Amino acid sequence: MATFSQNQVQQLYVVSANSSTAITSGSAVGTVKPCADTAKSHLYFSYKGEGGVMRSDLIDISKIVSAKATSAVKMQRQPSARKIALNNDFLTSSAPIVGQDYILEIAFRNYIGMSENDQYFKFGMVHCASGDTASSFYIKLAKSLAVNFSREVGKVVTIYLEDNTGTAGALGALTEVTNATTVLSLTDTYVGIIIEEYPQEWVLGTFSQVPVNFELISKTITFNGDEVNWGVATDVTAKMTTAKIGNGNKAADLEYFCMGNRGDMYRMVGFPKVLNTKYQINPSLQYDFIDIQYYYSGDAECIQQSPKTLTLVAPAGSAGTTHTIANAVIGAINTASGLSIATIS
């Protein structure tokens, strides 16, 4: 399940609109109004949630440690990708050596486990015969990998063949290879194989969407009596043009987690007699974040600082580039409190 670290306590509110007037029972769910006293010494948020009108913690503005906004775009992540190509440093030509077994190992770290020690391995293999070229070698190896990965319950990676149209700063055209791909359909000249992580299954409160961490390891072959690694693996994540992974699922997980601080602390304990909490995050969207970190300290012997975090999340569209709601809330917070949180551009 999704777990997060928090410094003592974190409250999260999903914002659908900023209001300049008082929040009432007739306000739309997700409407927020930043409020402060005349002296601007304390800040709080009036909010319409699924359960009605509520108020956030009363924040002593002098005890705010930091207040910042983070764009949904900055939370996007490009799926990691690695390229494997023949090591031509010891070859007299670009063709693989006849009679050798070329084995590629893909080592998955922290795969369905709790640490880097939990690893899982998949392999692809090509026995090179007379007449094999570098391009035909890549086709055979990609097909071998695709067949082996077809046995997995769910998709873990995407396998591509890269053709020879690439430049120093960009990859060549990519062709996905699956178990159903026929060798006869692969007619281009290929210069390498790219393995890219595939976004994993996500279920709110049960399966968090975690990265697929992997390495490409070329096993050794014999060349002039020496054991040498046949391949060169490079990180090509920055050159990939596939869609980035947004923060919609992560935001939904954080909302679910933080609800434990507000009342639904037992989750599904006692099923079917449980609290049917209504969540507001739409995982198909992306969200801007506004984080206010502050602390509470009392009087007399209770002067220790108790850190807290208040987080407001606002939808930024499916691409994460629409910041209208977040910037409206930021402007209202600055006006009410005298803070100077930078807007999102």
- Regarding beta strands 17-18 and 31-36, do their DSSP bridges make them parallel or antiparallel, or are they unpaired? parallel
pLDDT for residue 141: 98
d(CA 211, CA 24): 42
Instruction: Report DSSP letters for 17-75, one per residue.
Output: EE-SS---TTSPTTEEEEEE-TTS-EEEEEEEETTEEEE---EEGGGEEEEEEE-TGGG
Helix (H), strand (E) at residue 262: helix 248-262
Residue 117 phi/psi, 5-degree rounding, is: -75, -20
pLDDT of 205 reads 85
Q: Residue with structure tokens 């601007």?
A: 40
pLDDT of residue 2 exceeding 80, the answer is no
Is 161:124 a contact under the CB 8 Å cutoff? Answer: no
Please tell me the predicted confidence (pLDDT) of residue 293: 97
Residues 238-246 have a mean pLDDT of 95
pLDDT score at 272: 87
- Other residues' Cβ atoms within 10 Å of the Cβ of residue 114: 7
Task: Indicate if the pLDDT at residue 112 is higher than 90.
Answer: no
Predicted confidence band at 70 (pLDDT cuts at 50, 70, 90)? very high
pLDDT at 95 over 90: no
Q: What is the mean pLDDT of residues 190-201?
A: 96
> For the residues 62-78, what does the mean pLDDT come to?
97
Average pLDDT value for residue range 239-260:
95
Kindly report the pTM of this predicted structure. 0.88
Rounded Cα gap, residues 33 and 56, in angstroms: 10
Q: Around Cβ 212, how many Cβ atoms within 10 Å?
A: 18
What per-residue confidence (pLDDT) applies to 93?
63
Q: Give the pLDDT score at 111.
A: 80
Closest among 70, 127, 117, 142 to 96, alpha carbons compared: 127
Whole-number pLDDT of residue 313: 98
DSSP-assigned beta bridge partners for residue 69: 290
Banded model confidence at residue 1, pLDDT cuts 50, 70, 90: low
Q: Which one, of 150, 156, 267, 144, lies nearest residue 205 by Cα?
A: 267
pLDDT at 208 over 70: yes
CA–CA distance, 205 with 203 (Å, rounded to integer): 6
State how far the Cα of 144 lies from the Cα of 138, in Å rounded to an integer: 10
Section 289-304 average pLDDT: 92
Tokens of 10: 């974190």
- pLDDT band for position 288 (cuts 50, 70, 90): very high
Which pLDDT score is estimated for 92? 59
pLDDT band at 209 (very low <50, low <70, confident <90, very high): confident
- Whether the bond between 272 and the residue before it is cis, its omega within 30 degrees of 0, is yes
**Residue 44 C-beta-side C-alpha neighbours within 13 Å:** 12
- Residue 241: partners with Cβ closer than 8 Å, 6 or more residues away: none
Average pLDDT over residues 168-184: 96
Q: Which two tokens stand for residue 152?
A: 């997995």
Show Cβ contacts of residue 180 under 8 Å, excluding neighbours closer than 6 positions. none
pLDDT for residue 211: 92
User: Structure tokens of 259?
Assistant: 């609800």
pLDDT at position 118: 87
Helix, strand and coil in the chain, % to nearest 5: 15, 35, 50
